[in-house]
Amino acid sequence: MLGIPFGNEAENAQIDLAISLLSIMIAIIVAIISIKAPASIKRYGLLIGIVIGWIAFNLTFEQQGAVSQTASSSMALFPLGKPTWDTGIVITTVLAGLLNTANTFGALKGTDSIYRAETSDSQYRSSFTITGIFTGLSGVLELVPYAPYVSSIGFLNQTGIIRRLPFILGSFMFFLMGIIPPIGHFFSMLPLSIGSAVLFVSYLQLFNSSLSFFRQVEFNTLNIYRSAVPLFVGIIIMTFPASYFDTLPDFLRPLLSSGLLVGIILALILENGFDWNRT
């Protein structure tokens, strides 16, 4: 959104003021549409922002380079290399998989207010089963695994589209992007800053979801630690460069360098290790 290259490893990365101003303008436009526009237009606010931003970006700046196309569409197992054993990665993966169940639970639980119905036990089991199968396949095919994400709640609240058919059609469109390279090549030219600006507005809806969960807890000067400690520690770790963790053992580095995992672990320990109801 600020014109900085993706990731925090780019050397001499600086904020691009012109791109930042355009991205902020697009975010403001999407926010205004989401607040002021009629419901029939509001649900397309994200799409309108992407179209306007993409056109404005290409008219103002150089067209962003797309991902290079491959000459072959053949499928191969382990395309990024043969599997190797790394104790640190294995431990982190197992813990991340277990902790990621909180993400799946939160994504399903967060839609209760949208669908006005409680998620059933069978739906939880089906979600975990499907997620596990696709996660296993992704390791062999070197693909991003399918999983329910809490961020999806922001899209549901923003668009108001909760029927199943649009998501089936959207999945089919992603399938076409994968098997028809020119389509995927075209959408890969979407400027990162414009996409980030639009997503920024949709993610604001997550704040409402988090507040609805916090309303279920009556906080005081004692039990505020159960939420404040994991939150602040996780955010602090996220701001650290990767070089800060070079002195840690290899098997601990992937785990302790992830602010998300450390925050979730602390939250679980504080939630289950202390009696917060005592006065």
pLDDT band at 109 (very low <50, low <70, confident <90, very high): confident
On whether residue 279 sits in a domain, the answer given is: yes
Question: 48 vs 7, which has greater pLDDT?
Answer: 48
On whether residue 170 sits in a domain, the answer given is: no
Phi, psi of 36 (to 5 degrees): -100, -30
CA distance 69 to 177: 12
Inter-residue contact 197 to 53 (CB < 8 Å): yes
- Section 38-58 average pLDDT: 89
On whether residue 249 sits in a domain, the answer given is: yes
CA distance 168 to 157: 18
Q: Which of 74-83, 233-242, 245-254, 259-268 has the lowest mean pLDDT?
A: 74-83
- Section 217-230 average pLDDT: 85
DSSP readout, 205-268?
Answer: HHHHHHHHHHTTS---TTTTHHHHHHHHHHHHHHTS-GGGGTTS-TTTHHHHT-HHHHHHHHHH
On whether residue 177 sits in a domain, the answer given is: no
**Dihedral (CA of 105, 173, 208, 268) sign:** positive
- Please report, as a single letter, which amino acid is at residue 207: F
On whether residue 243 sits in a domain, the answer given is: yes
On whether residue 200 sits in a domain, the answer given is: no
DSSP letter (8 states) at residue 7: S
Structure tokens, 207: 């704040």
Element (H, E) at 83: none
pLDDT the model gives residue 29 = 93
- Section 217-236 average pLDDT: 88
On whether residue 276 sits in a domain, the answer given is: yes
Whole-number Cα distances in Å, 4 to 23, 57, 156, 236:
12, 15, 28, 20
> Which range marks the domain in which residue 228 is found?
218-279
Whole-number Cα distances in Å, 204 to 80, 151, 197:
36, 10, 11
- Section 212-221 average pLDDT: 79
pLDDT of 50 strictly over 90: yes
- Section 131-138 average pLDDT: 84
Q: What is the rounded average pLDDT for all residues in the chain? A: 82
Inter-residue contact 233 to 266 (CB < 8 Å): yes
Whole-number Cα distances in Å, 217 to 61, 132, 205:
49, 31, 20
pLDDT digits (tens, 9 = 90+) for 176-198: 888 888 888 888 888 888 988 99
- Section 49-68 average pLDDT: 80
What is the value of pTM for the model shown? 0.72
pLDDT the model gives residue 86 = 78
pLDDT of 201 strictly over 70: yes
Please state the domain count of the chain.
1
On whether residue 92 sits in a domain, the answer given is: no
pLDDT digits (tens, 9 = 90+) for 142-175: 777 777 777 777 778 777 788 888 888 988 988 8
DSSP readout, 17-76?
Answer: HHHHHHHHHHHHHHHHHHHHS-HHHHTTHHHHHHHHHHHHHHHHSPPPPPPPPPS-----
pLDDT of 10 strictly over 80: no
pLDDT the model gives residue 97 = 78
